[in-house]
Structure 1
Amino acid sequence: MSMRSFSDRIRHAVLFELIGIAIFTPAAAWLFNQPVAHTGVIGVVSATVATIWNLLFNLGFDHALVRFTGRVVKTMPIRVAHAMLFEAGLIVLLIPFVAWYLGISLWAALMMDISIVAFYLVYAFVFNIAYDRVFPVRPLKAYGGVASRALPA
């Protein structure tokens, strides 16, 4: 059995958000005809919330995966479910902020967020496959089989 270390989870979350915000901010400003400053604030707040959500969600998801399957290997259907569940949780967390900050209705914020989620759904899917290839999960046996020991990043 294998599981990612806490430091690896931090690296994953930070890289995901930095790359995502670098793409999101200018694209959202252009797409929604909003000032870059507004999409930048939404991007930074969203990235902060998403980073915390990313850490908590991925930790919980991996533990649930181990509990139900006995491993953390993600098949393609599991990856699709992972990405969709992550984004659904993020929508619930972010819609009220976006509506308030831009002074728009919750419905308008939801419609805006659907396009943002579509981007991040694809981005999360591709990013996680790439991340797993660049930073593969190492078996616990390689580290003495002690599940509580932090794995090197």
Structure 2
Amino acid sequence: MALRSRKERIIQTVSFELGGLMIAAPLYALFFDTSSGHSFFLLVCISAVVLIWAPVHNTLFDKLDLHVFHRLASARPHKWRVLHAISLEVSSIALTFPVVLLISEHGALGALAVNIGLTLFYTAYGYLFHLVFDMVRPVQSNMLLPE
């Protein structure tokens, strides 16, 4: 079975999170009129959770795609790319909501609104990031893993 190697998965995940932080932290600070330090700290904490979750999610999604549809991640059609991005973000809401609630000064509804706003941003960003990443670093046929 051909999947991304552990090294490729680490490169993918770290690149995704760093790029997202560089865009989202200044936007959060601007939108909520907070310091860039507070914004960056909150988003780094959220990213720490997602850094653990994303490779697990992406590997499971890639295995599902490979076993059910017999295709590599880099050959994923548009509809499945959208589902991939949405499934990562929706599952991430459940994991990061407590972080937003504890670190930010938002109440439960505000934290949920922030999390949904970040989710919408990261869903679009995730779609574009993975589309570009798969073009720049496609799964190689020599990246065979034992079944």
Q: If the length of structure 1 is used for normalisation, what is the TM-score?
A: 0.88
Answer yes or no: is the 8 Å Cα contact 2:42–2:104 preserved in 1: no
Q: Which residues of 2 match residues 58-73 of structure 1 at below 5 A?
A: 58-72=58-72, 73=75
Aligned to 2:114: 112
Answer yes or no: is the 8 Å Cα contact 1:96–1:106 preserved in 2: no
Aligned to 2:141: 139
Aligned to 1:37: 37
Answer yes or no: is the 8 Å Cα contact 1:3–1:62 preserved in 2: yes
d(CA) in 2 for partners of 1:147 and 1:49?
26
Structure whose CA Rg is larger: 1
Aligned to 1:10: 10
Deviation at 1:58, TM superposition (A): 0.5
Spell out, residue by residue over 1:21-72, the C-alpha distance to the aligned partner (whole angstroms, 9 max, x if none): 1111111100111221211111111111111111110011111112211222
d(CA) in 2 for partners of 1:8 and 1:76?
22
Q: Which residues of 2 match residues 51-90 of structure 1 at below 5 A?
A: 51-72=51-72, 73-90=75-92
Q: RMSD of the TM alignment (CA)?
A: 1.4
Matched residue type, 2:121? F
Deviation at 1:104, TM superposition (A): 2.5
Uncovered stretches (5+) of structure 2, i.e. residues with no partner: none
The alignment status of 1:93 with 2:91, answered yes or no, reads: no
Aligned to 1:151: none
Q: Which residues of 2 match residues 116-131 of structure 1 at below 5 A?
A: 116-131=118-133
Identical residues among aligned pairs (%): 30
Answer yes or no: is the 8 Å Cα contact 2:13–2:54 preserved in 1: yes
d(CA) in 1 for partners of 2:67 and 2:138?
21
Answer yes or no: is the 8 Å Cα contact 1:53–1:90 preserved in 2: yes
Uncovered stretches (5+) of structure 1, i.e. residues with no partner: 149-153
Answer yes or no: is the 8 Å Cα contact 1:4–1:137 preserved in 2: yes
Answer yes or no: is the 8 Å Cα contact 2:57–2:88 preserved in 1: yes
Spell out, residue by residue over 1:70-103, the C-alpha distance to the aligned partner (whole angstroms, 9 max, x if none): 2223110000000000000111111111111124
Matched residue type, 1:68? V
Aligned residues between the structures: 144
